[in-house]
């Protein structure tokens, strides 16, 4: 597939036309988000073509304000007549909506000025369906070649491109786009009730940054075989070590609690603790929306506010709440460039690329004094209370005995409270930065493990 760039001028024209139509029908203010995406994916299973998927979409969302009343609409028909009808409907909806004193556009002086920066998000090279098929097949073949693998759920390869354009009635209009290439494999080891499944994948902005398909497949196969014949584990308090592939979820829970929208709703376990030392002093978490080729890099947020690199955790403390216009107004805070936006509805709050920075301790030293503990490779369920921070999730992984990683274990639950877990967090030096949320191996002592 040759990933041709959508027309930036055309996208800007559509967004501007939506805003203009909203004014024409009586809106005081408006903003419009336009997205274009193209993707192709191919999956192979047991050496045969399993699925081919190709999609293209273009749609837009319009948000209008009539006084302190607001409404949002969206559509994929972007002809002049449809744009006019969409705007008319949005304004009519806004006129009967309840007042919202916190809703509004970002002030003009806080909007991104000038051209949107280029963070190397676009790979201009082309890739053919034949190449995608060969990549998917190579990944699956390598996974099936691992001794102990007995079946396959498939190998896959994909290529996609997306463009985001935002225009507001107070003078903002900008666009950015990015490409993505992915390879995955998922296989089964063992047979009957003893079967175990695992996977591996990579998704990168540039094709050249991908691991070789054979390496991804081998990793998937080795992971599946390593889970065979899991033992049970006794219940009790013990150190829990999170592998990087699952440890990022802990940072995700933190960011959710730092959302100004969650704080404004009194729906965050961090409320009342923002000035406390929640982490050891050497823990540092950084958001970098300007990371070159980053999965979530972006020059401006969902409301047109420029993004910036910043520490979310510094010297053991959270540095403040993440805001959009509504939550900043409700909490009396400044804008942080963390508004997120979908085609429909009002902006939310979210983060871009996140890194929990590594220490100088290697994994062997991090676990060397653990007499009896667990290394988590796999998490199950979503048992996290965002209001209290209580944490309980099913897990699988490997046992740690006398500082050594031993055989597989499964069928157990790990539990604790996120505030206590953060205070006991220690990290290793094995940080890789290809995910949207990147963490090294994390150790947390004193968690409760409940065996099956």
Mean pLDDT in residue range 218-237: 96
Buried b (16+ CB within 10 A) or exposed e, 182-192: bbbbbbbbbee
The band of 280, judged by pLDDT with boundaries at 50, 70 and 90, is very high
Q: Is the pLDDT of residue 6 over 60?
A: no
CATH number of the CATH domain containing 183: 3.30.2290.10
The band of 1, judged by pLDDT with boundaries at 50, 70 and 90, is very low
| Structure confidence at residue 382 (pLDDT) | 85
Q: Which of 188, 205, 224 is the last residue in one of the domains?
A: 224
> DSSP string of 240-262?
EEE-HHHHHHHHHHHHHHHBHHH
Q: Which of 166, 255, 186, 275 is nearest to 227 (CA)?
A: 186
Number of domains in the chain: 2
Mean pLDDT in residue range 311-317: 96
**Same-domain status, 214 and 309:** no
Q: Where are the alpha helices (DSSP H) in 281-346?
A: 325-331
**Same-domain status, 145 and 293:** no
Q: Is the pLDDT of residue 4 over 60?
A: no
| Residue 438 DSSP label | E
**Same-domain status, 249 and 183:** no
CA-CA-CA-CA dihedral for 213, 219, 221, 226, to nearest 10: 180
**Same-domain status, 166 and 237:** no
- Residue 201's contacts (CB-CB under 8 Å, 6 or more residues apart) are 182, 183, 184, 185, 216
| Structure confidence at residue 354 (pLDDT) | 98
Helix, strand, coil distribution of the chain in percent, nearest 5: 25, 35, 40
Q: Is residue 22 part of a domain?
A: yes
| Structure confidence at residue 331 (pLDDT) | 97
Q: Is residue 366 part of a domain?
A: yes
Q: Which of 224, 240, 265 is the last residue in one of the domains?
A: 224
| Residue 180 DSSP label | E
Q: Is residue 19 part of a domain?
A: yes
Handedness of CA 169, 173, 179, 180 (dihedral sign): negative
- Confirm if 317 and 277 have CB atoms less than 8 A apart: yes
| Structure confidence at residue 8 (pLDDT) | 65
**Same-domain status, 155 and 246:** no
Mean pLDDT in residue range 339-354: 95
Q: Is the pLDDT of residue 14 over 90?
A: yes
**Same-domain status, 203 and 278:** no
**Same-domain status, 286 and 415:** yes
- Confirm if 415 and 434 have CB atoms less than 8 A apart: no
**Same-domain status, 238 and 215:** no
| Structure confidence at residue 409 (pLDDT) | 97
* pLDDT tens track for 68-98: 999 999 999 999 999 999 999 999 999 999 9
**Same-domain status, 110 and 248:** no
> DSSP string of 69-114?
EEEEEEES--SHHHHHHHHHHHHHHHHHSPB-TT--PPPGGGS--S
Q: Which of 434, 183, 157 is nearest to 293 (CA)?
A: 434
Cα–Cα dist 213/134, whole Å = 9
Cα–Cα dist 180/273, whole Å = 38
Q: Is residue 270 part of a domain?
A: yes
**Same-domain status, 390 and 258:** yes
Q: Is residue 278 part of a domain?
A: yes
Residue-number span of the structural domain to which 75 is assigned: 8-224
**Same-domain status, 149 and 33:** yes
**Residues found in the chain:** 452
The pLDDT > 90 percentage for the chain reads 94
* pLDDT tens track for 57-68: 999 999 999 999
Cα–Cα dist 170/122, whole Å = 29
| Structure confidence at residue 7 (pLDDT) | 58
* pLDDT tens track for 229-266: 999 999 999 999 999 999 999 999 999 999 999 999 99
- What does the mean pLDDT of the chain come to? 96
* pLDDT tens track for 151-204: 999 999 999 999 999 999 999 999 999 999 999 999 999 999 899 999 999 999
* pLDDT tens track for 360-415: 999 999 999 999 999 999 999 888 999 999 999 999 999 999 999 999 999 999 99
Q: Which of 224, 239, 268 is the last residue in one of the domains?
A: 224
Q: Is residue 3 part of a domain?
A: no
Q: Is residue 421 part of a domain?
A: yes
- Residue 77's contacts (CB-CB under 8 Å, 6 or more residues apart) are none
CA dist 330 → 71, 175, 300, 320, 323 (Å):
19, 29, 22, 15, 10
**Same-domain status, 239 and 318:** yes
* pLDDT tens track for 36-58: 999 999 999 999 999 999 999 99
Q: Is residue 318 part of a domain?
A: yes
């Amino acid at each position: 597939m040759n990933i041709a760039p959508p027309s930036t001028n055309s996208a800007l024209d559509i967004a501007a036309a939506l805003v203009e139509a909203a004014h024409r029908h009586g809106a005081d203010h408006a903003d419009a988000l336009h997205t274009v995406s193209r993707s192709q994916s191919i999956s192979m299973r047991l050496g045969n073509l399993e699925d081919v998927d190709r999609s293209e979409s273009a749609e837009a969302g319009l948000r209008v304000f009539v006084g302190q009343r607001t409404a949002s609409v969206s559509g994929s028909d972007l002809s002049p007549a449809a744009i006019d009808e969409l705007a008319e409907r949005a304004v009519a909806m806004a006129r009967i909506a309840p007042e919202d004193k916190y809703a509004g556009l970002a002030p003009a002086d806080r909007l991104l000025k000038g051209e949107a920066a280029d963070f190397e998000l676009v790979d201009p090279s082309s890739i053919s369906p034949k190449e995608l098929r060969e990549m998917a097949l190579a990944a699956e073949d390598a996974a099936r070649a691992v001794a102990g693998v007995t079946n396959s759920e498939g190998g896959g390869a994909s290529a996609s491109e997306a463009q985001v354009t935002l225009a507001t009635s107070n003078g903002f209009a900008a666009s950015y786009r990015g490409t993505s290439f992915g390879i995955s494999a998922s296989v089964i080891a063992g047979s009957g009730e003893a079967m175990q499944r695992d996977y591996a994948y990579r998704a990168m902005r540039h094709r050249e940054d991908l691991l070789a398909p054979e390496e991804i497949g081998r990793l998937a196969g080795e992971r599946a075989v390593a889970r065979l014949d899991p033992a049970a584990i006794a219940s009790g308090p013990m150190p829990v070590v999170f592998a990087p592939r699952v440890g990022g979820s802990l940072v995700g829970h933190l960011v959710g609690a730092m959302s100004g929208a969650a704080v404004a709703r009194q729906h965050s376990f961090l409320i009342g603790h923002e000035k406390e030392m929640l982490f050891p002093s050497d823990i540092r978490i950084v958001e970098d929306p300007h990371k070159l080729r980053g999965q979530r890099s972006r020059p401006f947020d969902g409301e047109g506010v420029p993004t910036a690199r910043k520490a979310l955790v510094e010297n053991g403390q959270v540095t403040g709440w993440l805001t959009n216009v509504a939550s900043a107004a409700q909490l009396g805070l400044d804008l942080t460039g963390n508004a997120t936006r979908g085609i429909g509805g009002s902006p939310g709050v979210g983060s871009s690329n996140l890194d929990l920075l590594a220490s100088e301790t290697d994994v062997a030293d991090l676990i060397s004094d653990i007499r009896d503990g667990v290394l988590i490779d796999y998490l199950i369920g979503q048992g996290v209370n965002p209001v209290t921070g209580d944490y309980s999730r099913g897990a699988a992984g490997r046992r740690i005995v006398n500082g050594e990683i031993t055989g597989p274990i499964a069928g157990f639950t790990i539990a604790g409270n996120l505030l206590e877990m953060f205070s006991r967090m220690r990290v290793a030096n094995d940080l890789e930065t290809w995910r949207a949320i990147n963490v090294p191996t994390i150790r947390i002592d004193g968690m409760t493990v409940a065996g099956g």
